[in-house]
Structures are given as structure tokens and as C-alpha cells.
Amino acid sequence: MTTDALTAGIFDGLTVEDIALLDFSRLVGLVNEPNMPSGGGATIRRIIDLCRLRSGCTILEVGSNTGYTSIEFASWVDGRVIGLDINPVSVAFAEEKAARFGIDNVEFHVGDGLALPYERGRFDLVYCSNVTSFIVDHQGARDEYYRVLAPNGVLVAVPIYYHTVPPDGLRRAVGEAIGVDLIVTTQAYWTELFADPSAALLHRETYEYVRQSPRRIAEYVESVFSQPHLGNIDPVLREAAKARLTYFYELFDENLAYTRYDILIFRRNHPNPESVLHTSRQVIGE
């Protein structure tokens, strides 16, 4: 199906008031925003470098949204990728995008991270970035990720957490935007949540976000709405959707100033678990 066919009438039946109340996931699905992981494609390429996946490997992304990350994995890795998301509109966009770029080693499924429709031990790599915080039962989701992870598999999590406690109003507004009662999570919270007796934490990298100007946010919103398939929608609804997306980006930009994110890599049954006595660090600048 083409993007035009997917989006034909997609705003039909919605009023300006409805659009002003859409949550972020639903709006992203409607407008087909790329929805990248924290750090963009560089994060995915870094994970591929760190994990050194073998030919024929199987990868699952939970919360694949409109397909950016799963397609990025599939475009670099000699293996098979499945992206799963609870939102069928996003899944349809992801399928259309993969077909348009001729990426044939990825498929997309509609499903719930709390009840993954896959057998135990199926995937060599399970990836979750900013999805677990969208699911109320964090522990239940994490248990599902490990259930479908192969005996020597790698769980990669890229959680966003608060480095500095945010104003309460901001935290609540972000929670409303993503449709959950957002709790203030810390780096330790996610590292402990994703830890498992069967797996060793092989690697952790920590990043902070750079604030974006209102002008840069406006340019980005323009680029989303310059997609050809959004050219034909009713101008009044279009402006309402642009205003809603701008609101989310400005809100998230403010919120991200209080946050950091990690790339966490856990390997199950690592044959050489590391407990280095004489630790070392790289000498830089000599």
C-alpha cells in the first residue's frame, strides 16, 4: 500500500478539538513522523558495532512505531528483523516504508509488549528504547523481553531517565502527552530493571541531550508536514496537527533538559564474564 493510500482520509471524522487532545503516539502514527531513537541512527549503528551480530541473526524491536529503528537495523545487519508495535497505523506506515526502500529482511507486527506473540528464546537481540516507559507494567514487559531472548542472546535497552528531578507540572504534562502516569525514574532504576541473573551487563554508555531552539523545532515540524501525503488534508486540520506536534516537541525539549539516556547491553550466558581486578582507562591527549 502507498503512503497516499494509507493516509487517504486519515484525518476524516476528526475535529480541531479532537486533534488538540491526541496523545503523542497517536499523532505520530497519523502524520508518519520518523520517530527516531535517542541519538538517532548513530545509536543503532553504535549498538550494531558493540554487539557484533552474526550472519543470520534474529532481532526484535519492541515499540517499533513508524519503523525507523527496525529499518535501520535491517539495512545494516545480515539477519532478520521484526518490529512490533501496539499501534496498527504506525505498523502500516512502517511496512509501507520498508517496501518503498526495498528492505526485505524486516517485517512489522501489531502486538503488545506485555504479551509478545513469539516463542521462548526466539531472538538473538531484543531491543527496546523509549517504549517500556509507555507500558504501565515495566516488570511484566521486561520479563517478556527476556522470555523471547535466545540462551546466548543480547538484550539492548536505551532508557531515558531523570538526571535532575523535574518540576512536577512538567512531569505530569509529559505523562499526559504519552498517555501514562509518568514516574520519575533514575539511571539505577532502569539498570536494575533490565538486569537478570542469566545475563551480564557488558556495556553502559551515558548521554545527555542538547537543547533545541524554537526555530529548530519549527523547522523540524515543517519538514514532517512537507511530506507529500500530508499536502492534501484540510488546511484547518493540518494547522491543528502542526500546533499539536509543536506543543509536544517543545514540551519534550524542556523535559529532556532534566534527563539522560543510556545504551545498556546485557548478554545472556556470557562465556567470559568480566570481573577485572586491575581496571584501566584510555589515556587521551598525550
Contacts of 22 (CB under 8 A, 6+ apart): 30, 244
User: In whole angstroms, what is the distance from residue 166 CA to residue 156 CA?
Assistant: 26
Q: How far is the CB of 102 from ligand SAM (least distance, A)?
A: 21
114 binds ligand SAM (CB under 6 A): yes
Closest alpha carbon to 108 in 66, 137, 154, 53: 66
Q: Is 255 in the site for ligand SAM (CB under 6 A)?
A: no
| Residues shown for the chain | 286
Taking the complex as a whole, how short is the minimal distance between the CB of residue 67 and ligand SAM, in angstroms?
Answer: 8
Closer residue to ligand SAM in complex, CB, 3/198 = 3
| CA gap 92, 90 in Å, rounded | 5
> In this complex, which beta carbon is closest to ligand SAM, that of residue 16 or of residue 217?
217
Binding to ligand SAM (CB under 6 A): which residues in 125-154?
A: 129-131, 134-135
- Report CA-CA distances (Å) from 284 to 206, 277, 278, 281: 19, 22, 19, 9
Decide whether 32 or 58 has the Cβ nearer to ligand SAM: 32
Q: Judged by CB, which is closer to ligand SAM: 134, or 220?
A: 134
Residue placing its CB nearer to ligand SAM in the complex, 180 or 257: 180
Contact partners, residue 111, CB within 8 Å, separation at least 6:
84, 85, 86, 117
> Smallest gap, in angstroms, from Cβ of residue 15 to ligand SAM?
23
Q: What is the DSSP string of 23-66?
A: -HHHHHHHHT---PPTTTHHHHHHHHHHH-PPTTEEEEEES-TT
- Element (DSSP H or E) covering residue 107: strand 106-110
**Nearest distance from C-beta of residue 271 to ligand SAM, angstroms:** 29
**6 vs 283 by CB, closer to ligand SAM:** 6
- CA 42/CA 173 separation, integer angstroms: 29
Query: Smallest gap, in angstroms, from Cβ of residue 281 to ligand SAM?
Result: 30
Written as one letter, the residue type at 91 is V
Pairing of strands 123-128, 199-208: unpaired
CB atoms within 10 A of CB 251: 16
Residue 1: what residue type?
M
Q: How far is the CB of 27 from ligand SAM (least distance, A)?
A: 11
- Residues 1-60 touching ligand SAM, rule: CB under 6 A, are 25, 35, 37
Specify the stretch interacting with ligand SAM by CB under 6 A; choose among 63-71, 189-197, 211-219, 274-282. Answer: 63-71
Least Å from the CB of residue 69 to ligand SAM: 4
Alpha helices in the chain (DSSP H): 3-7, 16-20, 24-31, 41-51, 68-76, 88-100, 138-147, 168-178, 187-194, 214-225, 235-256
Q: Please report, as residue ranges, which positions from 69 to 108 form the binding site for ligand SAM (by CB under 6 A).
A: 69, 85-87, 90
Nearer to ligand SAM, 183 or 236 (CB): 183
CB of 104 to ligand SAM, least distance (A): 20
Query: Closer CB to ligand SAM, residue 85 or residue 95?
Result: 85
For ligand SAM, which residue of 23, 112, 205, 250 counts as binding (CB under 6 A)? Answer: 112
The binding site for ligand SAM (CB under 6 A) comprises 25, 35, 37, 62-65, 69, 85-87, 90, 112-114, 129-131, 134-135
